[in-house]
Amino acid sequence: MKLVMIGSGYVGLVSGACFADFGHEVVCVDKDETKIAALQSGKIPIFEPGLDHLVATGAASGRLTFTTEIGSAVADAHAVFIAVGTPSRRGDGHADMVYVYAAAREIAASLSGFTVIVNKSTVPVGTGDEVERIIREVNPAAEFAVVSNPEFLREGAAIDDFKRPDRVVIGGDDERGLAVMRQIYRPLALGRSPLIEMSRRGAELTKYAGNAFLATKITFINEMADLCEKVGADVLEVARGIGLDNRIGSKFLHAGPGYGGSCFPKDTLALLKTADDYDAPIRIVEAVVAANDRRKRLMGRKVIEAAGGDLRGRTVAILGLAFKPNTDDMRESPAIAIIQTLQDGGASIHAYDPQSIEQARGVLHDVDYFTDAYSAMAGCDALVIATEWDEFRALDLGRIKTLLREPVLVDLRNIYDRAAVEQHGLRYTAVGR
State how far the Cα of 44 lies from the Cα of 47, in Å rounded to an integer.
7
Q: What is the dihedral of CA 126, 157, 196, 268, to 10 degrees?
A: -30
Query: In the chain, what are the helix, strand and coil shares in percent, each to the nearest 5?
Result: 45, 15, 40
- Residues 6 or more apart whose Cβ sits within 8 Å of residue 301: 341
Task: Let me know if 380 is a catalytic residue.
Answer: no
State how far the Cα of 190 lies from the Cα of 187, in Å rounded to an integer.
6
State how far the Cα of 210 lies from the Cα of 356, in Å rounded to an integer.
27
For 91-125, write each residue's pLDDT tens digit. Answer: 788 899 999 999 999 999 999 999 999 999 999 99
Strand order in the sheet with 382-385: 367-369, 348-352, 315-319, 382-385, 408-411, 427-429
Residue 228's pLDDT band (boundaries 50, 70, 90)?
A: very high
State how far the Cα of 67 lies from the Cα of 251, in Å rounded to an integer.
39
- Give the model's pLDDT for residue 401: 98
pLDDT at 45 over 70: yes
For 178-206, write each residue's pLDDT tens digit. Answer: 999 999 999 997 767 689 999 999 999 99
| Cα distances (angstroms) measured from residue 253 to each of 22, 223, 257, 346 | 34, 11, 12, 33
Tell me, rounded to whole angstroms, the distance of Cα 122 from its chain centroid: 12
Do residues 107 and 80 make contact, with C-beta atoms less than 8 angstroms apart?
A: yes
Do residues 389 and 320 make contact, with C-beta atoms less than 8 angstroms apart?
A: yes
Fold equal for 2-197 and 199-433: yes
Q: How many alpha carbons fall within 13 Å on the CB side of residue 188?
A: 21
Q: Does domain 199-433 have CATH number 3.40.50.620?
A: no
Please count the residues of the chain: 433
Q: Is 148 helix (H, G, I), strand (E, B) or coil?
A: strand
Do residues 326 and 156 make contact, with C-beta atoms less than 8 angstroms apart?
A: yes
pLDDT at 43 over 70: yes
For 312-369, write each residue's pLDDT tens digit. Answer: 999 999 999 999 999 999 999 999 999 999 999 999 999 999 999 999 999 999 999 9
Question: Exposed (0-12), middle (13-18) or buried (19+): which is 41, by Cβ within 10 Å?
Answer: exposed
Which residue out of 18, 28, 263, 380 is catalytically annotated? Answer: 263
Do residues 77 and 114 make contact, with C-beta atoms less than 8 angstroms apart?
A: no
Q: Is 164 helix (H, G, I), strand (E, B) or coil?
A: coil
* Cβ neighbour number for residue 334 with a 10 Å cutoff: 26
Question: Exposed (0-12), middle (13-18) or buried (19+): which is 201, by Cβ within 10 Å?
Answer: middle
- Give the model's pLDDT for residue 93: 82
Q: What is the dihedral of CA 112, 113, 119, 125, to 10 degrees?
A: 110
- Residues 6 or more apart whose Cβ sits within 8 Å of residue 180: 1, 78, 79, 116, 145
- Give the model's pLDDT for residue 92: 80
- Give the model's pLDDT for residue 386: 98
State how far the Cα of 433 lies from the Cα of 417, in Å rounded to an integer.
10
For 403-423, write each residue's pLDDT tens digit. Answer: 999 999 999 999 999 999 999
pLDDT at 89 over 90: no
Could you write out the DSSP letters of every residue in 56-121? HHHHHHTSEEEES--HHHHHT-SEEEE----PBPTTT--B--HHHHHHHHHHHHH--SSEEEEE-S
Q: Is 25 helix (H, G, I), strand (E, B) or coil?
A: strand
- Give the model's pLDDT for residue 194: 85
For 229-253, write each residue's pLDDT tens digit. Answer: 999 999 999 999 999 999 999 999 9
For 260-298, write each residue's pLDDT tens digit. Answer: 998 999 999 999 999 999 999 999 999 999 999 999 999
Q: Which CATH class is domain 2-197?
A: alpha beta
Model pTM score:
0.92
Mean pLDDT of the chain: 96
| Domain boundaries along the sequence of the chain | 2-197, 199-433
